[in-house]
Amino acid sequence: MDKFVTLYTLAVTIGIYLWSVHLSKKYSSPLTNPVFLSTLLIIFILVLSHIPYAEYQGTKEVLTFFLGPATVGIAVPLYQQRKVLYQNLIPSFAGILVGSVVCMLTTILTLKGLHLSSEVVRSMSVKTITTPIAMEVAGIIHGDKVLAAIFVVLTGMLGAMTGPSIMNRMKIYHPLSRGLALGTQAHGIGTARAASEGELQVAIAGVAMGVNGIFVSILVPSIVVWMIN
């Protein structure tokens, strides 16, 4: 029975994902963002079929299993684009580092100012890094792993949905900078969005996602100790 439910939800998840990717190519809009649209539709279907999230665990395990090898796979675009990275080493690293620190400080200060629980603050402080890394780091800094993962995905979704138009308003037009901002602030989902802007953008976004993951993993434990305790 359990296996049947897993098979059913897995088929539903992959089917809806493929359809929403097709839709997002046809009608490009923040609302057709594949992660956003799929999540909404899947929750709707699970509620309609009376399947609680606990019974969705099988599908979750199957699909999140791939996040480990996928993270390792980021090394490939990193390697292929190493020349672009070497040429733009200073602007890239400065942009990623400043953006990463500014974002962490803004997040922690805002949440602390609004008196949210320390667990929520800890879980949200890792929100800009890609899910598999974020869950591990959240564990290291004693946050809630699942909540952290949800914040990460929400951040990526909002980043991919609002990022390009917000950057137009902010007069950030340089392809390097657009890729960097999407990868640094919206990790894998932002990188997927950067793919529709161009080759340089997506490559540099992949690099930014990886480098930002390293920066945050190293910096966040001490920032959290310094600001929360």
Partner 1 sequence: MKKKVAIVFRLYAQVLLLYILSEIGNFIVEISRLPLPGNLVGMLLLFLLLITKMIPLHWVSEGSSLLLKHLSLFFIPVAVGLMSYKDLFLHQGWIFFLCILLSLWIGMYATGKVSQTIALKQEDNVKENLKSGEQRYG
> Scanning residues 20 to 59, which ones bind partner 1 (CB under 8 A)?
21, 34-35, 38-39, 42-43, 46-47, 52-54, 56, 59
Cβ nearer to partner 1, comparing 4 with 69: 69
| Of 95, 156, 105, nearest in space to 130 by CA | 156
Residue 228 binds partner 1, judged by CB under 8 A: no
Q: How far is CA 41 from the centre of its chain?
A: 20
Residue 215 binds partner 1, judged by CB under 8 A: no
Residues 130-169 binding partner 1 (CB under 8 A) are 131-133, 136-137, 140, 146-147, 149-159, 162-163, 166-167
Min. distance of Cβ 106 from partner 1 in angstroms? 4
Side chain identity at 2, as an amino acid letter? D
Q: Which of 27, 114, 226, 229 is the binder for partner 1 (CB under 8 A)?
A: 114
Residue 206 in contact with residue 77, Cβ under 8 Å? yes
Contacts of 124 (CB under 8 A, 6+ apart): 107, 111, 148, 151
130 three-class SS: coil
Min. distance of Cβ 1 from partner 1 in angstroms? 20
Residues 69-88 binding partner 1 (CB under 8 A) are 69-80, 82, 88
DSSP 229: -
Residue 176 binds partner 1, judged by CB under 8 A: yes
CA dihedral 131, 132, 137, 142 (to 10 degrees): 80
How many Cα atoms sit within 13 Å of 123 on the Cβ side?
Answer: 17
Cβ nearer to partner 1, comparing 1 with 211: 211
Cβ nearer to partner 1, comparing 143 with 191: 191
